[in-house]
Every structure is written in C-alpha cells, then in structure tokens.
Amino acid sequence: MAGLEETLVLVKPDGVARNLTGEILSRIEAKGYQLVDIRMVEPNRDLLSAHYAEHEGKPFFDPLVNFMESGPVVAMRIAGHAAIAGVRSLCGATDPTAAAPGTIRGDLGRDWGLAVQQNLIHASDSLESSSRELALWFGPLLSPPRRRRLPPPPPPTRPRTTR
C-alpha cells in the first residue's frame, strides 16, 4: 500500500475561463481523492516563476508565465494514498492532442495553435514538488492541512406508526 500523500492541483486559466473547474474537481473526487483545501488565486509573476523554476530558459517559459497570469487559477490541495501519481494519471499527457481519451487533457483539451499548450490542469509530479508547490500556493501558516472526517450516517428513520 502506498503512503498517504498530498498533491497540488491547479485549474489553469483556460479551465477556469471555460467553466471546467467543477468537471475537473469532480473527476478527482470521483476517483476517490479528497479535497482538503481550495482557493481561487490571481498569481503574480514571482509566484509563477518560482512554481515553474525548472522550465526557466525554455522557449515556452515566457508564454507559459503570461498564460498562467492571464486570469484566475483555482488551486487545490488533494489528498489520498498515491495521490501524486494518481492525479497525474487522471491528467493525461502534457500535450492535449496526444493525451489519451478518458483523461482530463485528452477529453477536454486541444491544440489552439498557441505558443504554449493550454492543457487545463497542473498536478505535482513528485513528493518533492508537491511539498514545494503546496508551500508556494497555500503557505504553511495560511492553511495548515486539515483532514476532513466523513459526516456520521443519518439516524435510522423510524417507521411511522399509524393509530
């Protein structure tokens, strides 16, 4: 059994603009992962440059940061056993044209002929990235991880007695 993990998911500006936030979260929840925290953010360049530091210097870096800065992003903290690999698998391949049908990018994304792939979702790719990225987007003081308990089952309904 894999360990309990937390991963950062971002619904990118294209996903928010296309009203796909609910659809994306619904796929993650339907798989069985738990939503621990969620917020809508308008990220600035400093946050985005730190988030995408590994891509600095690549030809798509500036278009990527411009795109991510172009509108609100929904950041989510998602928990579950092996959640990091599991959510990546739900996302599908980076290129939405190649992403398999059945995945978020494969079903909902496409090539729009732009310098950056608008592929709806970001998800952390390792334990190291998830702790780094969760600290960037949620901050250790701002939002300590909370474990949600399932609500207790409703009390049994008593059959109505007729007199």
**Is 125 one of the binding residues for ligand IDP (CB under 6 A)?**
yes
Stretch touching ligand IDP by CB under 6 A, among 30-38, 78-86, 115-123, 146-154: 115-123
DSSP annotation of 34 reads E
Tokens of 9: 């998911």
Q: How far is the CB of 125 from ligand IDP (least distance, A)?
A: 6
Q: Quick check: 64 binds ligand IDP (CB under 6 A)?
A: yes
Q: Does the annotation count 122 as an active-site position?
A: yes
Residues in the chain: 163
Query: Could you give the CA distance from residue 135 to residue 129 in angstroms, rounded to a whole number?
Result: 10
- Give me the residues paired with residue 40 across strands: 74
Determine which residue in the list 84, 122, 133, 137 makes contact with ligand IDP, applying CB under 6 A: 122
> What is the identity of the amino acid at 136?
L
Q: Which is nearer to ligand IDP, 57 or 151 (CB)?
A: 57
Q: From the CB of 156, what's the least distance to ligand IDP, in Å?
A: 48
Query: Which one, of 46, 78, 70, lies nearest residue 118 by Cα?
Result: 70
